Structure 1
């Protein structure tokens, strides 16, 4: 079926999301490895992405692991340093699609407070036709319900949706629902996919 809407993940598709890189630069790789071995920081972040309070979840985790408390609190105070920089070619693709009149949605595991912070730095986050954020939806990818909620919200047939995400499990869950998918491993491959679908010309996708 002809693509009627293009759906972008945000983290590692439009904005680099590398907490480990941040911690390696600030506390050193050895201390970072020890902390990540002791503390499931990604599970903490998942709770925020599912609608949990950003500050409260981080503070609670810091209290549970006092030996790492100061570094854990950096997840709150330095969150924008972890979510950087933007991926310029991906942003150009987003804008090129919109210039062609192609509806563009975001489907992202993203807490509400972190998203508020990010949109103050990255103007393109206000350029989507529709935002589907897990923090507002109360469910995260790859749970089937989040894909169903997007389908219900946009009213388009699943086979008309083209979705890119950097995580294979998220892509697989969308494909099971009949979505067209592209596993993001860099903007060049995504650009080629959009050209192949006839959504952009080579010039527009450059």
Structure 2
């Protein structure tokens, strides 16, 4: 069947994600004494709830501060949180080339803070008519429901959609859900 839509992942496809030492230190990931591993495990659990819409930004921040004993005001947290999103070289050009010929969609495991920031900083992403966002749907990749929802949001059956992601497990999940899929390895 002919591909009529490209559904992009967001992080490390349309925008880059760069986690620097300041971010790691602020969230307690940096210590070499084993506490960094615990902080990362606590973060992963809380982020799953945040990125599936079970908790909001304030609750996510409060839980991180309380669980990890952080001294981090909400405003500073939001600033640091959004600082990890950076331009992906060539992504806007790729998006524009595809959008000129096919329908475009988005399927992203993301949260409301990052989504608001991305729409403001990268207007081309905000032009996607009906993005499929985990914090709205409650589904994370590679759950089949996430891919099916993304296809619905471009008004096409899975076999008419190409999904592009940077993680092999998400590409595999898309193919199991009936989409064509490819691993993103850069815009070159």
Considering the TM-score relative to the shorter chain, is it more than 0.5?
Answer: yes
Instruction: Give the RMSD, CA atoms, in angstroms.
Output: 2.6
Secondary structure of the structure 2 residue equivalent to 1:16:
strand
In structure 1, C-alpha distance between the alignment counterparts of 2:66 and 2:28, rounded to whole Å: 22
- How many residues were matched structurally? 184
Note if contact 1:107-1:131 (Cα within 8 Å) is conserved in structure 2: yes
Secondary structure of the structure 1 residue equivalent to 2:164:
strand
Secondary structure of the structure 1 residue equivalent to 2:117:
helix
Secondary structure of the structure 2 residue equivalent to 1:88:
coil
Deviations 1:34-93 (A, max 9, x none): 554012223322221101202211211210121xx1369665331121112x11311111
Secondary structure of the structure 1 residue equivalent to 2:90:
helix
Number of the residue aligned with 1:204: none
Note if contact 1:54-1:114 (Cα within 8 Å) is conserved in structure 2: no
In structure 2, C-alpha distance between the alignment counterparts of 1:35 and 1:167, rounded to whole Å: 27
Q: CA deviation at 1:24?
A: 5.3
In structure 2, C-alpha distance between the alignment counterparts of 1:33 and 1:13, rounded to whole Å: 34
Secondary structure of the structure 1 residue equivalent to 2:16:
coil
Greater helix percent: which structure?
1
Number of the residue aligned with 1:65: 68
CA 1:24/1:139 → structure 2, altered by over 3 Å: closer, same or farther? closer
What TM-score do you get using the length of structure 2 for normalisation? Answer: 0.84
Note if contact 1:11-1:17 (Cα within 8 Å) is conserved in structure 2: yes
In structure 2, C-alpha distance between the alignment counterparts of 1:27 and 1:152, rounded to whole Å: 37
What TM-score do you get using the length of structure 1 for normalisation? Answer: 0.78
Note if contact 2:28-2:68 (Cα within 8 Å) is conserved in structure 1: no
